[in-house]
Structure 1
């Protein structure tokens, strides 16, 4: 059995982030809700916990997809609710995550603001909102916000995409 690795990701609506990472090969589970970190000035922020098989998709691939599917360079008014962050479960992953973020800076015109933070706690969303996109693909929110992000996946990361309904 492969070693499964966990990482927390936040930056946009957790419904969007959940759909993105549920669509990737090598991702075995995505939990959608709110993450808290010791380094944060605010409490919980919308995020997901992604569990993946590093033999099928790397930390670097996860970080690259994350940066390209949310506004990782924008300090907008909703940042306390949608903190741009990668949450680590292990100190040993911090430097490789920071290196990946630095590597992908070249893809963006403005500086990446995504922070690398330690995971403190997680609060799962209400059951009726879990797997939101895959249960509700025809809802206006899904068509307006999630589908364009999934199209980025298909265009830029097709080799990592499992299936998109």
Structure 2
């Protein structure tokens, strides 16, 4: 019997409610833990983000990284050391080349530097239970309609091969 290895990667960049909803909408993603991630100094301040558990046979780390880069402000100027640090948090050094390659492709395509960092994940604290599964528990909240729905529409258009179908609204 072959043991299936769990693959995990962290993403930070903007509100973790949005980031959680984005990754929950992808095939091959087994779990999304929303909360605050930490890395080594100088990036050791807790920042909003998610940890994604995924099946690499169904979705690659490169695809996850590209979805991440295209669904948050990977080029904008908010502080990379602050609460909304744009980062890909690796759990193994073997993940670093795929993450760095995705960032390089994104920057070359846009002809602008991406400020997204590749950092080792050194800590995680989950969000309060009341914020977990934020989009799934009430997609009709004004925040969800304004900020998350457009990201999900983008995924269904540009990443259709790995996008889950839209859930029917009540």
Q: TM-score, normalised by structure 2?
A: 0.91
Counterparts of 1:45 and 1:38 in 2: how far apart (Å)? 12
1:44 maps to 46
Count of aligned pairs: 165
Q: Which residue of 2 aligns with 1:106?
A: 108
Gaps of at least 5 residues in structure 2 are none
CA offset at residue 78 of structure 1? 8.2
Any gaps of 5 or more consecutive residues in structure 1? Answer: none
Q: Is the 8 A contact 2:43 2:81 kept in 1?
A: no
* Residue equivalent to 1:14: 16
Query: Taking structure 1 as reference, are residues 90 and 38 closer, same or farther at Cα in structure 2, changes over 3 Å only?
Result: same
1:137 aligns with 2:139: yes
Measured in 1, the distance between the counterparts of 2:105 and 2:29 equals 22
Residue 108 of structure 1: how far off its partner (Å): 2.0
Give the alignment of 1:31-110 within 5 angstroms: 31-76=33-78, 80-110=82-112
Secondary structure, counterpart of 1:46 in structure 2: strand
| Offset of residue 109 of structure 1 | 4.1
Bigger mean CA offset, 45-54 vs 103-112: 103-112
Deviation at 1:79, TM superposition (A): 6.1
Is the counterpart of residue 126 in structure 1 residue 128 in structure 2?
yes
The CA distance in 2 between the partners of 1:88 and 1:149, in whole Å, is 23
3-state DSSP class of the match of 1:159?
coil
For 1:136-155, list aligned pairs within 5 A: 136-155=138-157
Aligned partners of 2:18 and 2:148 also within 8 Å: yes
Q: Give the conservation status (yes or no) of the 8 Å contact 2:36–2:127.
A: yes
- Asked if the contact 2:30/2:54 (under 8 Å) is kept, the reply is yes
Inter-CA distance 78–164: structure 2 relative to 1 (3 Å threshold): farther
- Where 1:99 maps in the other structure, the secondary structure is helix
Q: CA deviation at 1:153?
A: 0.5
Deviates more, 1:52-61 or 1:37-46: 37-46
